[in-house]
Amino acid sequence: MSTSAVPILEVQAVSRYFGKFQALHNITTRFQAGELTAIIGPNGAGKSTFFNVISGGVAPSSGTVHFEGRDISSMAQHDYARAGIAKSFQITNVFKHLSAQENVRVALQMLTSRYQILRPRAAYGEVSDKADALLVKVGLADSRSKLAGDLAHGQQRSLEVAMALACGPKLLLMDEPTAGMSPQETVVMMDLITQMTAERTIILVEHKMKLVMGLCKRLLVLHHGELLAEGSPDDIRSNAEVKRVYLGQN
């Protein structure tokens, strides 16, 4: 593991309690820029809590999270996008009654015209053009005028990716990007992720281990809220502890 450069994301001794239940135990790890990392683990391992902590959904009970050297442990959710961290949720979160294009356009306008009240949206033509370009990128060009709620599940997830990309993030966090997808949809999403890796750092939480083995250079395994192992897919596969708690189950 190279430790020379400043990591894009550094998690330092993070714990998180919900009441008396400790969902995360003292987790320390770092993510290098440009890497695609997957966080895996069995159900209840603390993956989602970890995801929420690094994406601004919940604050850590103790410990710190640094993004490009800046402490973001207690930053407000809406400041993440502006800082350059975007996320896609495990449960699809799109604006259902708005068109696909409007979904992406709203996400995009954050950069240019956030709280402008008296100028019409139509005056920001370049925002619409960019939204269309993003829809093309995620393969939704044909569905631009459809209501987001009318899109197929896989398409809604792709739409969410387009919305996450809208703020031009350096770091993209994805919580189970293929959850509930058909095999065909999964392939499309995996291709999309591979494509996006070229331009940015991606951390994804994934339940299906096989899926990420071929995709990621580095894996983190969580178990009972603890960091059980981290390393390359081969390291993880040969790790006895991991085999016991995770692979043994399948």
Distance separating alpha carbons of residues 1 and 235, to the nearest angstrom: 12
CB contact set of 149 (below 8 Å; sequence gap of 6+):
94, 96, 97
CB of 95 to other proteins, least distance (A): 4
Establish if 159 lies at the interface with other proteins (CB under 8 A).
no
Choices 46-54, 96-104, 176-184, 232-240; region in contact with other proteins by CB under 8 A: 96-104
- Cβ nearer to other proteins, comparing 108 with 215: 108
Compute how many residues bind other proteins; rule: CB under 8 A.
37
Establish if 163 lies at the interface with other proteins (CB under 8 A).
yes
Distance separating alpha carbons of residues 206 and 174, to the nearest angstrom: 9
Establish if 105 lies at the interface with other proteins (CB under 8 A).
yes
Establish if 107 lies at the interface with other proteins (CB under 8 A).
yes
Structural tokens at position 223? 């178990």
CB of 3 to other proteins, least distance (A): 31
Could you tell me which residues are beta bridge partners of residue 32?
none
Sheet of 9-18, strand order: 21-31, 9-18, 62-67, 70-71
Establish if 106 lies at the interface with other proteins (CB under 8 A).
yes
User: Of 25, 121, 137, 146, which lies in the binding site for other proteins, with binding defined by CB under 8 A?
Assistant: 121
CB of 186 to other proteins, least distance (A): 23
CB of 59 to other proteins, least distance (A): 14
CB count in 10 Å sphere of residue 3: 8
CB of 174 to other proteins, least distance (A): 12
Of 187, 221, 217, 181, which is closest to residue 201 (Cα–Cα)?
217
Rg value, the chain, Cα: 19
Residues 27 and 63: beta-carbon distance below 8 Å: yes
Residues in region 27-86 near other proteins by CB under 8 A: 76-82, 86
CB of 7 to other proteins, least distance (A): 23
What angle in degrees, to the nearest 10, is found between the helix axes of 125-137 and 153-165? 130
Residues at the interface with other proteins (CB under 8 A): 76-82, 86-87, 89, 93-98, 102, 105-107, 109-110, 113-122, 124, 163-164, 166-167
